[in-house]
Amino acid sequence: MKRQLSIFILLVGIALSAFADEVVFRAQAPKQVVVGRPFQITYTVNQRSRDLRAPEFTDFDVLSGPYTSTSSSTSFVNGKRTSSFEQTYTYMLMAQRAGTFTISPATVKVDGENVQSNGVRIEVLPEDQPSSSTSQTGQSGQTRQSSQSSSSGQASSENIFVRTIASKTKVHEQEALMITYKLYFANVDVAQLTNNTKLPEFTGFLKQDLEQGEIQTELEHYNGRNYQTAVLYSTILYPQHSGDIAIDPAKFEAVLRVQTQQRARSIFDDFFGTYTNVTKMLTAPGVTIHVSALPSGKPAGFSGGVGKFTLTPSISQTELQANEAVTIKLDISGAGNMKLIKTPAIDWPEGFEPYDPKVTNNFKTTTSGVSGTKSIEYLAIPRSAGEYTIPAVKFSYFDIDEKAYKTLSTPEYTIRVKRGASSNSDKGEEAVVVNYTQKEDIKQLGTDIRYIDTKAPKITNHQSQITNYNHAWLWYVIPLLIAIILLIVLRKQIKEAADITKMKYKRANKVAQKRLKAAAAALKANDKDAFYAAIESAAWTYLSDRLSIPTAELNKDNIASILVQKGVSEELIKDVNDVLSTAEFARYAPITDHGMDDLYTATTNLINNLEDQKI
């Protein structure tokens, strides 16, 4: 046993040693270079090597090289010795012409074996075009300036500026576009960018900011010059209405380190010069986005989705017992205005008790917009046996590539429900199923009326017999009357509860007030996410219940159309549209705390005004 263990340890050591000695040979070079400017390409190997075979540097002049250097290090951490070795070959190259070129891999011999490096792709930018406003000297392109104009000249708008770059300027409503603010600078040393930044409000858009990591610079040829560039801010915008929407200019503040020429105090000052920091406010110009309205002929199931999507349905089971849950899951995947997609509704058969769907969002924001998957789980419980058909669920959206509406549909599901062990059907009674929106327990009428006691009362003497005989009929009539009254009242309640539309209509204001109360609590706690969610839910749910609009058909156009039919004033209809738009906008592009107070007041007043209209 000890021998086997020793062999195992030896093999593991050999494997680890081989892994640690794995040869790594890599090539490195700048991603962008300029024609006529020298640059380096290095080949690095982590073991001693010889016989380097460099590729043919087509389209590049070899100015010098290869220069060989080696470095090694040894360290002890917690008694463990770690060593490393690196051998580097360096070439100095210069590009002959502009374009994008690939340098083939190099090879080197390590312990008699040929090892190949990676290839390198390099973008070569054109040379700077001569500028009429400056005089350039030497290959470095530095400008000679007088002591009076040195600072202002280096910080001129020609040497440093910010561009506003729109990925598209012509889009449809809800179609994603990206706005990028990009810094360009040449012959200027940018010491830092301050927090004194003023971005536009992006009025008329929903926005989703892109994660801004550490600022990286790269070369870019623009308007005949080569600049160092850096992305300052990027956001994805979704236009909320048609027409020309103007985006205001943005402002960024930068601290520049500029060299000044003064009377020399020593030979070192004369050689190196002196530097000073200059603060400069950079203005990025505004831009106008031309937004086209979505074409007419919107499908019935359209709820505002714009992009490219797929629909994947699934069902947990199609054969089950009464009072056993069934789950239908829909996965809406793709790219577009994912956060604004409303949850499709399932038209459950009568006899099913549905619960609120569970929605899980798995989104990511990239330069092409928001993409990912919206997963929706619908749960319902059948209360009686039988065979039921769940209609297809339709999801409609506007395909941004084909410029047309598309409708995705699930299959129809046939569910067979067997009698459950605790169902009323097993007792020979007909099950009474009522769909309560608040998921209250179902009450059974069969246990609400007690049997009448038919036993005669005991008579002790002749006088009491006469007295009891005169009043005995009350023992029969009073319970019977109570039973009849209860039966009438309960039947009325059950009938009203079975009419889900009527029940939702009656409870609309109560449900809305409950959610407004939750919004008020979130407002007091300054919980913006919870506040906006409660306000949006209160407004949409109230209008859906009060106007008897199914969730799948709930949109601003349908709401306005029904309100017009009910004789609601145009001013109140405009208030409805403003509250819905503001609530939807605020949830994904939060506004100020003052705006939260205004939104809460506007929503409360709107619901009260609609109640006064008795729609």
Report the relative pairing of strands 189-193 and 250-260 from DSSP bridges.
antiparallel
How high does pLDDT run on average in the chain? 78
Q: Per residue in 256-312, pLDDT tens?
A: 887 765 554 555 555 555 778 888 999 999 999 999 999 988 888 788 889 999 999
* CB distance 239 to 217 below 8 Å: no
Measured in degrees and rounded to the nearest 5, phi and psi for residue 181 equal -105, 120
Question: Which is nearest to 179 in space by CA: 169, 188, 187?
Answer: 169
Strand partners of residue 181: 164, 233
Check pLDDT > 70 for residue 418: yes
Q: Per residue in 182-200, pLDDT tens?
A: 999 988 888 888 888 999 9
Where along the chain do its domains lie? 22-125, 147-292, 305-418, 501-613
pLDDT at res. 389: 92
Amino acid residing at 536 = E
Lowest mean pLDDT, pick from 124-138, 340-354, 397-411, 483-497: 124-138
Residue ranges in 94-178 assigned as alpha helix (H): 150-154
Question: Which is nearest to 393 in space by CA: 377, 372, 406, 412?
Answer: 412
pLDDT at res. 149: 42
Q: Give CA–CA dist 386/423, Å, rounded.
A: 12
pLDDT at res. 339: 83
Give the CB-side neighbour count of residue 566, counting CA atoms within 13 A. Answer: 17
State the sign of the Cα–Cα–Cα–Cα dihedral 46, 52, 57, 60: positive
Check pLDDT > 70 for residue 452: no
- Share of residues in the chain with pLDDT > 70 (%): 76
Amino acid residing at 466 = I
Lowest mean pLDDT, pick from 320-324, 400-404, 559-563: 559-563
Q: Per residue in 199-243, pLDDT tens?
A: 999 999 988 888 777 788 889 999 889 999 999 999 999 998 999
- 487 to each of 112, 447, 492, 609, how far by Cα in Å? 99, 12, 9, 38
Structure tokens at 468: 């009891």
Lowest mean pLDDT, pick from 329-343, 405-419, 533-547: 533-547
Q: Give CA–CA dist 429/385, Å, rounded.
A: 12
Do the domains 22-125 and 305-418 sit in the same CATH topology, yes or no?
A: yes
pLDDT at res. 559: 82
CATH code that applies to domain 22-125: 2.60.40.10
What is the CATH architecture of 305-418? Sandwich (2.60)
Q: Per residue in 464-515, pLDDT tens?
A: 554 555 566 677 778 888 888 887 777 766 665 555 555 566 666 777 788 8
- 431 to each of 273, 351, 383, 384, 394, how far by Cα in Å? 95, 9, 8, 6, 31
Residue with token string 């005004």: 609
pLDDT at res. 239: 92
Residue ranges in 259-386 assigned as alpha helix (H): 267-272
Strand partners of residue 324: none
State the sign of the Cα–Cα–Cα–Cα dihedral 554, 560, 564, 569: positive
Question: Which is nearest to 394 in space by CA: 166, 523, 552?
Answer: 552
Measured in degrees and rounded to the nearest 5, phi and psi for residue 154 equal -70, -30
- Share of residues in the chain with pLDDT > 90 (%): 32
Check pLDDT > 60 for residue 4: no
| Predicted model pTM | 0.61
Check pLDDT > 50 for residue 587: yes
Structure tokens at 201: 């409000």
- 355 to each of 178, 378, 437, 469, how far by Cα in Å? 39, 7, 8, 56
What mean pLDDT do residues 444-455 have?
A: 45
Coil, strand or helix at 589: coil
Q: Per residue in 59-109, pLDDT tens?
A: 899 999 899 998 888 777 776 777 788 899 999 999 989 999 999 999 999
pLDDT at res. 45: 92
In three-state form (DSSP H/G/I as H, E/B as E, the rest C), the secondary structure along 232-246 is EEEEEEEECCCEEEE
pLDDT at res. 456: 52
